[in-house]
Amino acid sequence: MQGGGAMSEHISLELDIHEEGEETTAHARLDLHGDHFESYGKARRNPSDPDMPLIGEELAVARALASIAAQVMETARGRIHQFLV
């Protein structure tokens, strides 16, 4: 946007969490200005650890979001490179 005016928009991120036994999987999807990003994050509880599903959810979500962030960053780097070349 040129001219320094204010800009506001809403971007949606979808997260689905699935737990089965000792494994938790998070599936993240982001649509950003026509680009689609998708990732999975997994966490596995050691059978000798206490059953605390929240920790597995947090780890799986964090891993999925970290991957999405890396994908968005790579796309941004590619666009920057296009404008500089």
Coil vs helix vs strand at 13: strand
Q: Residue 76 belongs to what H/E stretch?
A: helix 53-84
Assigned domain for 78 exists: yes
CATH label of the domain that carries residue 62: 3.30.160.240
Assigned domain for 25 exists: yes
Assigned domain for 69 exists: yes
Q: Residue 55 belongs to what H/E stretch?
A: helix 53-84
Assigned domain for 71 exists: yes
Q: Is the pTM of this model over 0.85?
A: no
Rounded to whole angstroms, how far apart are CA atoms 58 and 73?
A: 22
Assigned domain for 2 exists: no
Assigned domain for 43 exists: yes
Q: Show the domain range for 67.
A: 13-84
Assigned domain for 3 exists: no
- What pLDDT, in 10s, does the model give residues 60-85? 999 999 999 999 999 999 999 998 87
Rounded to whole angstroms, how far apart are CA atoms 24 and 40?
A: 10
